[in-house]
Chain A
Amino acid sequence: MFIKRNYKIFLLCITVLLVMLIAGCSGGGKSSGEVKEIKIGNILPLSGSAAPVGKIGQQARDMAVEEINAAGGIKSLGGAKIKMIYADSKGDPATGVAEAERLITQERVALITGAYQSGVTLPATEVAERYKVPFVCPVPSEDVITERGFKYVFRLAEKTTWRNREQVRFIQDMAKKFGTPVKTVALIYENTAWGQGAVKGWEKYLKEAGLKIVLKEPYPANSSDLTPVVLKVKQLKPDVIMMCSYVSDAALLTNTFAEHKVKPLAFIGTSGGFADPVYFKTTGDNSEYFFDISTWEPDVNRPFSKEVNEKFKQKYGYPMNAEAVKAYTAMYVIKDALERAGSLDPEAIRKALAETKLTSGVTQMYASEIIFDESGQMVNAPLIISQFRKINGKMERVTVWPEKEARPGWKPVWPFPGWDK
């Protein structure tokens, strides 16, 4: 009897689950029969731990496409509208590959954008290359993505090592400007693809600049305790501390530095965790006067920057970030290429993308000039340094370097003034 009842409960539970599945099926199974449209596939992490960044990328793309379609679509293709198709990679390389296959062979997309994580982008771009479908990467920064001799891959972002190059240039510039010689640097980075890529760049450019690396400390991502690392740094007393961390470790590092009152000339972050809005929430004042590098800030002194960000804020309730700006710009780069290609032939689109030269229009909010080199890599990605400052009791990112793109009236505070604020 008991077993019978159990069996019923089990059947009931399974039925409920299946009904949920089927309900989802009928909800998701819409098919549109429009004739004149250009399908663009987008691979993003829409579930899993990176889902929030996947979502903001999706919103930025949608906003750009709405604008493009409202303005008459692609005119050289008879006003064809762009249709976005999103695919969830879960942040997993194998899923990214399957989704790239699906977008190309099932959905028959004209081109693909994505895939946020370098780890997913690497194999997914290979699929696109195999089918000869153009792939535009607005975010992933691992150097090797555009160093494989691929013809159909275009990157609208900086390489990881470019950030390191600019950070080192910034240090040298500050040292000269404020007369505080910098000799030693400590590198703290998470032991992931991103961190290991960054350390290569740091080593190269720091060596070129004649700076001494006194500590190279990889730590496992999501550490339970970073005090040991902080204590090690404290012993060595480096002039500058450079960090490459996601948000949990970035915040943990910052707070632990505060607890142990480590005081170098400067703390410099490498975007990622330091650029996450949660970072300010969990560190509070501790992060004041830290530096961070990125390609875009809400206060950056560039045309269209304020307007587009304002519109985004109105629409979705929170401001853009650098990654959203890249995704947004990517859609306009694609629009421009489609206009010039005048056909959906992948080869024509590829050729048009390769010949991109955008020096006006809304893409100015990201870069004054967008061109790709032979490898499909954007030339001169615009990198800027911001400093975290407390303004009216709230932490803000203030663009301070280079001078011409800095927030008007603001200058970097160097050296780090200490913890007794």
Chain B
Amino acid sequence: MRNFITPRYYLPALMIFILLLIPLFISSPYILHIMAMVLFWAYLASAWNIVGGFAGQLSLGHGVYVAAGAYVSSLLFANIGLSPWFGMIIGGLVAALLGVIVGYPTLRLRGAYYALATVGFAEGFRVILINTTKIGSWHTGGAEGFLVPLLGDAPQHMQFMSKVPYYYLALVLLLIIVGFSFWLDRSKLGYYLTAIREDEDAALALGINTARAKLIAAALSAFFTGVGGVYYAQLIRYLEPNAIAGAIMSNQIVFLAIVGGRGTVLGPVIGGIFLTIIGEMTRILFDQVMGLHLFLYGIIVVLFVIFKPRGLIELVEKPYEKLVKMLNGRRVEGAS
């Protein structure tokens, strides 16, 4: 029991507690909306991290899974009235299936093929979404986009008039993915993936079925991303193929995870929070100069890859460790 009062436990607990309390102090729906988006991006980056970070396979087409989750759940919702809460599972599974379809032929090969295949698949998927206006008798809207029916306050259908439930939902999703990453990092599969990332040939020599391990990672990552897509669909309630399945969505997810620190449990979360806030600020401040904010964005990524390949997490880790040590010391002193 005593172990649980160490800073290693109460500091994260404190952070979660603060995140839980935030809506009590912020009444502005706009700020809450932005904070929900920040948590959402952190969630997506963490989901990408499973295949992109832990397994070291660069997926540049995660927008496909966001779109799959969003479209599947919204179509089921609009046409047969299936609640998006169930849609989350179905959307996630469909996304996972797509993840397997891209991954199966390419993950047996070296990483470059997987990266290229994800780009090609995402582009193809986007064009199909644009070009399809109907699946059977279900309207998908094609390029005009799909409007998710607005029901007003309908918690059973994941729709709320207030932003507070959306915030908490994003927070719960984020906690789930962080918990999952934490588990994965210490699981057998996690060790396999690390081994593959460090040296695939050696991993193969050790008898690890590398293709299978990578495929599982790709499917898990796609599943969580698809679940995120369902959330996005209910928050924004408008699905536009270019915005949701396009390169901007896919690249954004990757950038967040990289800048935060890929292959670590909390890196993508930190990256998601940091870059989304920076992005929001630069957009509001630099709206006069076209392209400046994306330029800064690109430069930040380049600088991180060159100078801090392990990401922001590296900058946060040390002070955190120091803090833990300091608090630990104090506690011990106080106890004696």
Contact = CB atoms under 8 A, between A and B. Distances in A.
- Chains A and B share a contact (CB less than 8 Å): yes
A93 B28 contact: no
A30 B296 CA distance: 23
A122 B286 CA distance: 25
A33 to B, nearest CB: 20
A119 B240 CA distance: 7
Contacts of B145: 93, 119, 122, 193
Contacts, number: 119
A101 interface: yes
Contacts of B294: 47
Contacts of B5: none
Contact of A14 (B31, B33, B303, B306): B303
B151 to A, nearest CB: 12
A144 B145 CA distance: 11
Contacts of B282: 21, 24
B284 A101 contact: no
A410 interface: no
B143 A17 contact: no
Contacts of A102: 30
Contacts of A47: 283, 287, 290-294
Contact of B287 (A88, A97, A123, A220): A88
Given A10-B303, A24-B285, A94 B143 contact: no
Given A7-B307, A98-B30, A218-B131, A46 B236 contact: no
Contacts of A7: 307
B81 interface: no
Contact of A105 (B29, B237, B283, B293): B29
B243 interface: yes
By DSSP majority rule, is chain A's interface helix, strand, loop, or mixed? helix
A220 B303 contact: no
A196 B127 CA distance: 13
B144 A106 contact: no
A25 B285 contact: yes
B238 interface: yes
A13 B145 CA distance: 41
A76 interface: no
Contacts of A14: 300, 303
B236 A123 contact: yes
Contact of B307 (A6, A86, A118, A130): A6
B144 A88 contact: no
Nearest to B239: A93
Contacts of B82: none
B285 A192 contact: no
A90 B283 contact: yes
B144 A197 contact: yes
B308 interface: yes
Contacts of A6: 307
Nearest to A106: B30
B142 A196 contact: yes
A196 B236 contact: no
A126 interface: yes
30 contacts: A9-B307, A13-B307, A14-B300, A21-B278, A24-B282, A24-B285, A25-B281, A47-B283, A47-B294, A51-B290, A90-B283, A92-B248, A98-B30, A98-B37, A101-B163, A118-B144, A119-B238, A122-B147, A123-B147, A123-B238, A126-B150, A130-B150, A191-B127, A191-B143, A193-B145, A193-B240, A194-B143, A195-B143, A220-B127, A220-B130
Interface of B: 28-31, 33-34, 37, 127, 130-131, 133, 142-145, 147, 150, 161, 163, 232, 236-238, 240, 242-243, 248, 278, 281-287, 290-294, 296, 299-300, 303, 306-308
Interface of A: 6-7, 9-10, 13-14, 17, 20-21, 24-25, 27-28, 46-48, 51, 86, 88, 90, 92-95, 97-98, 101-102, 104-106, 118-119, 122-123, 126, 130, 142, 144, 148, 191-197, 218, 220
Can you list the 8 inter-chain pairs with the closest CB atoms, starting with the nearest?
A10-B307, A24-B285, A123-B238, A102-B30, A193-B144, A101-B30, A88-B287, A193-B143
